[in-house]
């Protein structure tokens, strides 16, 4: 057997072909094709490892038809780590066949932190040239279809913020008598698209007597790159972020985006190669917490104000299965006076975003998203709370397309309101 497939063996032999993963796979449920299930993909990788199937572009496409939602990992009775297998396969396939030019350029751009920042700031100024307003101010619509950027003309996307989070706040946000020193890893979407949610997180942290440092030199967490197989870029970004976060004496590292949090806490362990940085990561990863975890650990700080609203909650895959956070946001929302909490059916099922999945397979991701929205709307809630910016963007798109009045907010924005902070 080729040496590069040896690492797969432990996992491949565990698969007993039971098909349990079929019953939980959203992509299979939407596309009805055995090749999209974890079992189907495991069989394909087995054929690869036995030398019966080469690493072709067709195989790369099939391995890309996966949300990396981890539902199959959770449900597998044999404990097959399908997520790790699929990521490893995507890396080998990208090494062999490359990535589409637009993707490769976009990922490489992430490694030029200052240029990337400038590009998005310029994008915020000139976004009106390529995008027009969606009806009722729901976001933006592409003026012309841009398939290489995953933008159909019906897809509603949020605008880039005129002022990113990291320009709105100082790098160090002090309080009079700090009890903890916290690094806030904002990632890209809270910085460039949803800065109000990021501001809510900083206000909450300060209300908990935390000195909040928002490291100016942080880069993208690298999830879009390494989940597409670009480990060169993913590894560079992971190692840069860990070095930056290790360069400060932080008690906690707080995130407000599920994908960033799961990357910092777990995924980096399979990506970082430099032994010194790996050692740093081992320490850092133990300090990574979602904002709702942080609040619950510290205890609700003050008497909560009334927020009169019926609210439901969507579990982002990277929060519930990536970071093991599901009770904390519910506990906090239910503690707010005036909130009528309504649990939706299948709250922990993927919303269909799947990072770059929704760009490559928009129609499948919309079908999966519609199931989520049906369940959310059945609760009669006016607000859907969540803790992942990618989920927020995809769900907001779906709600806009069905002209729903339901609003999507970050859980922290609702908590900040109950704290009297916005």
Asked if 45 interacts with ligand SF4 (CB under 6 A), we say no
- Residues 235, 225: Cα–Cα separation, whole Å: 9
What x/- string results for residues 79 through 118 when contact with ligand SF4 is judged by CB under 6 A?
A: -x-x------------------------------------
SS3 25: coil
Asked if 72 interacts with ligand SF4 (CB under 6 A), we say yes
Burial 381-411, CB ≥16 within 10 A → b, else e: bebbbbbbbbbbbbbbbbbbbeebebebbbb
Q: Tell me if 304 sits within 8 A of 418, measured CB to CB.
A: yes
Q: Tell me if 227 sits within 8 A of 87, measured CB to CB.
A: yes
Q: Tell me if 377 sits within 8 A of 298, measured CB to CB.
A: no
DSSP, residue by residue, 161-215: PSS-HHHHS-SEE--SS-SEEEEEE-HHHHHHT-HHHHHHHHHHHHHTTEEEE--
Asked if 353 interacts with ligand SF4 (CB under 6 A), we say no
Question: What residues contact residue 256 under an 8 Å CB cut-off, 6+ apart?
Answer: 184, 186, 187, 190, 197, 198, 201, 290, 291, 387, 410, 412
Backbone φ and ψ for 368, nearest 5 degrees, come out as -65, -40
Asked if 63 interacts with ligand SF4 (CB under 6 A), we say no
Asked if 33 interacts with ligand SF4 (CB under 6 A), we say no
Question: What residues contact residue 107 under an 8 Å CB cut-off, 6+ apart?
Answer: 99, 224, 225, 228, 230, 233
User: What residue has token string 């985006």?
Assistant: 257
Q: Which of 69, 238, 264, 373 binds ligand SF4 (CB under 6 A)?
A: 69
- Residues 84, 12: Cα–Cα separation, whole Å: 11
Asked if 347 interacts with ligand SF4 (CB under 6 A), we say no
Q: Which of 45, 63, 71, 351 binds ligand SF4 (CB under 6 A)?
A: 71
Asked if 26 interacts with ligand SF4 (CB under 6 A), we say yes
**Shortest reach from residue 186's CB to ligand SF4, in Å:** 26
Asked if 32 interacts with ligand SF4 (CB under 6 A), we say no
SS3 339: strand
Q: Which of 38, 48, 87, 238 binds ligand SF4 (CB under 6 A)?
A: 38
**Candidate segments 66-74, 143-151, 173-181, 253-261, binder of ligand SF4 by CB under 6 A:** 66-74
Asked if 262 interacts with ligand SF4 (CB under 6 A), we say no
**Candidate segments 12-20, 242-250, 264-272, 380-388, binder of ligand SF4 by CB under 6 A:** 12-20
**Shortest reach from residue 59's CB to ligand SF4, in Å:** 15
* Closest to 212 (Cα-Cα) out of 391, 414, 417, 412: 412
Output the CA torsion sign for 255, 257, 260, 265: positive
| Nearer residue to ligand SF4 within complex by CB, 68 or 393 | 68
Asked if 42 interacts with ligand SF4 (CB under 6 A), we say yes
| Nearer residue to ligand SF4 within complex by CB, 21 or 339 | 21
**Shortest reach from residue 74's CB to ligand SF4, in Å:** 9
Asked if 272 interacts with ligand SF4 (CB under 6 A), we say no
Asked if 78 interacts with ligand SF4 (CB under 6 A), we say yes
**Shortest reach from residue 188's CB to ligand SF4, in Å:** 23
Q: At what angle do helices 411-418 and 195-207 cross, to 10 degrees?
A: 50
**Candidate segments 21-29, 194-202, 276-284, 322-330, binder of ligand SF4 by CB under 6 A:** 21-29
| Nearer residue to ligand SF4 within complex by CB, 158 or 229 | 229
**Candidate segments 34-42, 176-184, 188-196, 207-215, binder of ligand SF4 by CB under 6 A:** 34-42
Asked if 67 interacts with ligand SF4 (CB under 6 A), we say yes
Q: Which of 66, 262, 319, 332 binds ligand SF4 (CB under 6 A)?
A: 66
∠ CA 40-43-47, rounded to 5°: 140
Asked if 25 interacts with ligand SF4 (CB under 6 A), we say yes
* Closest to 246 (Cα-Cα) out of 319, 190, 199, 185: 185
| Nearer residue to ligand SF4 within complex by CB, 26 or 198 | 26
- Residues 131, 149: Cα–Cα separation, whole Å: 13
Asked if 18 interacts with ligand SF4 (CB under 6 A), we say yes
Which residues of this chain interact with ligand SF4, rule CB under 6 A? 15-21, 24-27, 37-39, 42, 66-72, 76, 78, 80, 82
């Amino acid at each position: 057997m080729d040496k590069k497939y040896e690492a797969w063996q432990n996992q491949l032999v565990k698969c007993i072909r039971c098909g349990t993963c079929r019953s939980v796979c959203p992509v299979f449920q939407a596309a009805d094709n055995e090749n999209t299930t974890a079992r189907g993909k495991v069989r394909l990788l087995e054929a690869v490892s036995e030398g019966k199937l080469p690493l072709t572009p067709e195989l790369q496409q099939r391995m890309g038809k996966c949300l990396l939602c981890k539902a199959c990992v959770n449900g597998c009775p044999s404990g097959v780590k399908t997520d790790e297998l699929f990521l490893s396969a995507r890396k080998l396939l990208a090494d062999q066949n490359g990535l589409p030019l637009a993707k490769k350029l976009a990922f490489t751009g992430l490694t030029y932190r200052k240029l990337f920042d400038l590009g998005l700031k310029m994008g915020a100024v000139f976004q009106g040239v390529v995008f027009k307003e969606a009806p009722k101010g729901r976001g933006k619509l592409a003026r012309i279809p841009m398939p290489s950027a995953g933008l159909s003309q019906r897809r509603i996307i949020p605008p880039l913020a005129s002022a990113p989070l990291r320009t709105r706040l100082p790098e160090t946000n002090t309080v009079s008598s700090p009890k903890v020193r916290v690094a806030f890893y904002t990632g890209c979407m809270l910085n460039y698209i949803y800065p109000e949610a990021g501001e809510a997180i900083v206000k909450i942290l300060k209300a908990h007597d935390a000195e909040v440092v928002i490291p100016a030199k942080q880069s993208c967490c690298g999830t879009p790159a390494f989940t597409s197989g670009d480990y060169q870029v993913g590894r560079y970004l992971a190692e840069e972020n860990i070095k930056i976060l290790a360069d400060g004496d932080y008690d906690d590292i707080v995130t407000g985006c599920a994908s960033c949090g799961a990357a910092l806490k777990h995924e980096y362990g399979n990506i970082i190669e430099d032994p010194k940085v790996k050692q740093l990561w081992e320490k850092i990863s133990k300090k990574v917490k979602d904002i709702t975890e942080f609040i619950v650990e510290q205890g609700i700080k003050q008497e909560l104000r009334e927020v009169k609203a019926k609210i439901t909650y969507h579990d982002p895959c990277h929060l519930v299965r990536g970071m093991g956070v599901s009770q904390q946001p519910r506990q906090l929302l239910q503690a707010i006076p005036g909130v009528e909490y309504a649990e939706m059916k299948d709250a922990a099922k993927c919303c269909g975003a799947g990072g770059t999945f929704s760009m490559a397979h928009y129609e499948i991701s919309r079908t999966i998203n519609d199931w989520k929205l049906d369940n959310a709307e059945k609760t009669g809630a006016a607000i859907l709370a969540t803790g992942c910016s990618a989920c927020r963007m995809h769900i907001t798109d779906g709600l806009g397309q069905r002209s729903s009045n339901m609003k999507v907010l970050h859980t922290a924005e609702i908590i900040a309101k109950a704290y009297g902070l916005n």
